[in-house]
Amino acid sequence: METYVTVVGNLVADPKMRSVATGQTVADIRIASNPRRFDREAGEFKDGDPIYIGVSCWRGLGLNVHASLRKGDSVVVTGRLQYREYDDKDGIHRNVYSIDAVAIGPDLARRPVDVRRESRSSETEPVPAHDPPQAEAAANSVAA
């Protein structure tokens, strides 16, 4: 069973595009999210410790993220939570969580944004919906 999460945070760097061996494109982003609590004694909101999480945005979603988002932008990310373990170059065992994004949008609770909508007649090719890499591989093997 897959676990889906929604995380609200800010981009800590500009999106980075890359291609994988199969030729698919993916945009990688990293977001910081921190809890905000009201401190009654101080009478003000205080930020808690941030968490940083990597997000992979495949195909059309990645292209749109790369074209639309920049460092510092507030976003809402929904996707599959992924976990992996590895030993880094210094031999230290690491546990990493990341998100395989299904949808990303600006956080309108933080600021307004100008959303552009292209007319249907100017669209040359529809942006494909997000499919996880496993689903596409399975579909290709069935078609073969």
List, for residues 4-46, the tens digit of each pLDDT value: 999 999 999 999 999 999 999 999 999 999 988 899 999 999 9
- Count of Cβ atoms closer than 10 Å to residue 106 Cβ: 17
pLDDT in the model for residue 138: 42
State the pLDDT confidence band at 136, using cuts at 50, 70 and 90.
Answer: very low
Backbone dihedral angles phi then psi of residue 76, each to the nearest 5 degrees: -120, 120
**Average pLDDT across the chain, whole number:** 85
Instruction: Please give the residue range of the domain that contains residue 61.
Output: 4-143
CA pair distance 25, 27, nearest whole angstrom: 7
Residue 127 — very low, low, confident or very high, per pLDDT cuts 50/70/90?
A: low
Question: What's the pTM?
Answer: 0.74
Count of domains observed in the chain = 1
Is 58 within 8 Å of 92 (Cβ atoms)? no
